[in-house]
Structure 1
Amino acid sequence: MTLRTDDHSDLRIAGQSFHSGMEQFHHPRPVRTGPRDRSEPTPERTALLAGLSGRVLEIGAGDGVKLSCYPPGLEEIVLVEPDPFLRAAARSVAERLTTPVRILNGSPGALPVAGGSCDAVVCSLVLCCSARVQETLGEVRRVLAPGGELRFYEHQRSGNRLVTLAEALVTPIWSRASGGCRPTRDTVAAILQAGFVIDTQNRFDFRRFPHVLGIARPGGIHRPARHLP
Structure 2
Amino acid sequence: MGKLVPKLYDLIMAPIEKKRFKRVRSELLSYADGHVLEIGSGTGVNFPLYQNVKSVTAVEPDETMKNRSMEKITHSKVPIEVQLAYAENLPFDDHQFDSVVVTLALCTIQDVNQALSEMRRVVTPGGQVMFFEHVKLNDSTVGKLQDLLTPVWKKVAGGCHLNRDSLTLIKEAGFEVTDVDHMYKGLFLVIKAKNP
TM-score by length of 1: 0.74
CA distance in 2, matches of 1:153, 1:191: 12
CA distance in structure 1 between the aligned counterparts of 2:10 and 2:123, rounded to whole angstroms:
26
Q: Offset of 1:85 from its aligned partner?
A: 2.4
Over alpha carbons, which structure has the higher Rg?
Answer: 1
Asked if 2 retains the 8 angstrom alpha-carbon contact of 1:171 and 1:184, the reply is yes
Q: Is the 8 A contact 2:167 2:191 kept in 1?
A: no
Counterpart for residue 80 of structure 1: 59
1:146 and 2:130 matched? no
State the TM-score, normalized to the length of structure 2. Answer: 0.86
Find 1:176's aligned residue among 149, 152, 155. Answer: 155
Tell me if structure 1 keeps the 8 A contact 2:99–2:128: yes
Q: Which has the higher contact order (CA 8 A, sep 6+)?
A: 2
Instruction: Indicate which of 113, 136, 147 corresponds to 2:92.
Output: 113
Q: Which contiguous aligned blocks of 4+ residues in structure 1 show a shift greater than 3 angstroms? A: 24-28, 95-98
* Aligned residue number for residue 29 of structure 1: 13
User: Alignment partner of 2:177: what SS?
Assistant: strand
More helix by proportion, 1 or 2? Answer: 2
Alignment of 1:1-229 (within 5 A): 25=9, 28-30=12-14, 33=18, 42-71=22-51, 73-205=52-184, 210-219=187-196
Alpha-carbon separation, structure 2, partners of 1:27 and 1:120:
29
Flag structure 1 segments of 5+ consecutive residues without an equivalent.
1-21, 35-39, 220-229
CA contact (8 A) 2:44 2:68 kept: yes
Distance apart, 1:94 and its partner CA? 1.6
* Contiguous gaps of at least 5 residues in structure 2: 1-5
The count of residues paired between Structure 1 and Structure 2 equals 189
Identity over aligned residues, as a percent?
28
